[in-house]
């Protein structure tokens, strides 16, 4: 098997080693790595990151998570169920159109 000239053999050795450590095949590992990298690029170029800076976004995200958790903790199980049903209906309603 000849390797494409765009990647050195060390790339494939690393790919094989990391895929084996993750318990995945080489193609699945590479595809997942590309998706994670694309998500990281998107996050680093987001409007929030541009406005606040990378360090501040981590604190902002943590605070938003805590606020959301504390708010959801105040709802009764019936209210949570009603909100979940409403969100599901809105999601599937958009897909049907």
pLDDT of residue 5: 66
Specify whether the CB–CB gap between 15 and 29 falls below 8 A. Answer: yes
The total domain count for the chain is: 2
> pLDDT tens across 19-38, in order?
999 999 999 999 999 999 99
pLDDT of residue 2: 66
Specify whether the CB–CB gap between 52 and 60 falls below 8 A. Answer: yes
Dihedral (C-alpha) 9, 13, 41, 4: value to the nearest 10 degrees? 30
> Domain range spanning residue 94?
49-97
- Residue 33 sits in a domain whose CATH number is 1.10.1220
pLDDT of residue 3: 56
pLDDT of residue 95: 62
The model's pTM is 0.52
Distance CA 68, CA 71 (A): 5
**Do 54 and 35 have their domain in common?**
no
SS3 of the chain: helix, strand, coil, percent, to 5: 80, 0, 20
Mean pLDDT confidence for 2-17: 83
């Amino acid at each position: 098997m000849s390797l494409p000239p765009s990647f050195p053999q060390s790339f494939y050795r690393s790919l094989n080693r990391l895929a084996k450590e993750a318990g995945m095949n080489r193609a699945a590992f590479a595809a997942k790595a590309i998706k994670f990298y694309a998500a990281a690029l998107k996050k680093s170029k987001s409007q929030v990151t541009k406005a606040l800076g990378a360090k501040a976004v981590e604190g902002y995200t943590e605070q938003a998570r805590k606020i959301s958790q504390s708010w959801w903790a105040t709802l009764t199980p019936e209210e949570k169920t009603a909100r979940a049903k409403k969100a599901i209906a809105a999601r599937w309603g958009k897909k049907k159109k």
